[in-house]
Amino acid sequence: MEPVPEHLLERLNAFRESRLLLTAIELDVFTAVGEGSTATETAARVGTALRSTEMLLDALVAVGLLGKREDRYFNVPASRWFRRDTAESARDALMHIVKLWERWSRLTACVRKGSCVRARRRTKAETEAFIALMHYNARWRAPLVAEAIGLEGVGRMLDLGGGSGAYAIAFAQAAPSLEADVMDLAPVLRIARRHIEQAGVGDRVKTKVGDLRQPSYGAGYDLVFISAVCHMLDPQENRAMLRKSHAALHPGGRVVIQDFILEPDRTAPRHAALFALNMLVNTPGGATYTETEYRQWLEEAGFYPVRRLHVPGPTGLMVGWRLI
């Protein structure tokens, strides 16, 4: 009988290396190691037992994320993203991935049920980590999106479910006359206001407490921007959101959706198919959707024409115009 191929065994056991790195990030081991540290010193800094800390550090060396000389451990170039004390630090943002572990561990139960199990609101720490990751990703991508969609003629925009405000900030920086409202829940907007003030655009980027399910989003906007929101909602919720977005626009205004876009058979791109499972374990009805689905929802809401824009990275853009 032929044994299970090695490459499949490696895939089955991939969780071990993932959990190793997530635990090291969670414990802030890379910061504790600093410019060089023994296992005893590291354990004292992070508050862990010496025996298990040494095992963890040796495993990080084995996978190439730390170096070791005699009894001292050292960070390697790749460690800089995991430390708190580097210019490239993404540690706060990566804590969102740490916190996804528990929810993904319930994938089997979610598949049986057809929806997430033990649904609950995020804790304050989870919200901070989630928004930190969204802001980290958006600050690199937002200028590309602004260039792709073009902001000429946009006087007022609504950043719907705008999170940290990264896109509204970038759009305001790209178009000096643009004014933006970032609409989200109150706990999220407390974080957004920090970023807005740090960017120096508080005179033109305002926050607006609201919920995607409220009856109206306001009126008089030239652009409604919806990034990383549709995948959290089921089809009926997306239809309702787009109808209200249409009503919020001036004639001639646009809605721009940024999200994962599946191929028609729903098996590609790989990251979009996998992200559908992320929505399964985290939301009651969220998923990833095809271009055809987005076109149908936009046209039903009254948008015409509808176009897809391709930009570098894992997500795409769907644009619809309100003509009347």
The predicted-structure confidence for 46-60, as pLDDT tens digits, reads as follows 999 999 999 999 999
Q: Nearest to residue 297, comparing CAs of 248, 257, 260?
A: 257
Give the residues across from 256 on adjacent strands.
225, 319
| Cis bond upstream, residue 305 (ω within 30) | yes
- Range list for CATH 1.10.10.10 in the chain: 6-89
Task: For Cα atoms 321, 298, 318, give the angle at the middle one, nearest 5 degrees.
Answer: 70
149, 127 Cβ separation under 8 angstroms: no
CATH 3.40.50.150-classified regions of the chain: 112-321
Q: What is the DSSP letter of 231?
A: G
pLDDT tens digits in sequence order for the chain, 324 residues long = 899 999 999 999 999 999 999 999 999 999 999 999 999 999 999 999 999 999 999 999 999 999 999 999 999 999 999 999 999 999 999 999 999 999 999 999 999 999 998 766 788 888 999 999 999 999 889 999 999 999 999 999 999 999 999 999 999 999 999 999 999 999 999 999 999 999 999 999 999 999 999 999 999 999 999 999 999 999 999 999 999 999 999 999 999 999 999 999 999 999 999 999 999 999 999 999 999 999 999 999 999 999 999 999 999 999 999 998
117: Cβ contacts below 8 Å, ≥ 6 apart: 106, 109, 110
Q: Please say whether the beta carbons of 170 and 139 come within 8 A.
A: yes
**Distance from C-alpha of 27 to C-alpha of 17, rounded to nearest angstrom:** 16
- Identify the architecture of domain 112-321 in CATH: 3-Layer(aba) Sandwich (3.40)
pLDDT of residue 76: 98
pLDDT computed for residue 116 by the predictor: 93
What's the pLDDT at 122?
Answer: 80
Residue 279's contacts (CB-CB under 8 Å, 6 or more residues apart) are 231, 232, 286, 287, 288
In this structure, what DSSP letter does residue 48 have?
-
Predicted local distance difference test score (pLDDT) of residue 140? 87
CATH T-level topology, domain 6-89: Arc Repressor Mutant, subunit A (1.10.10)
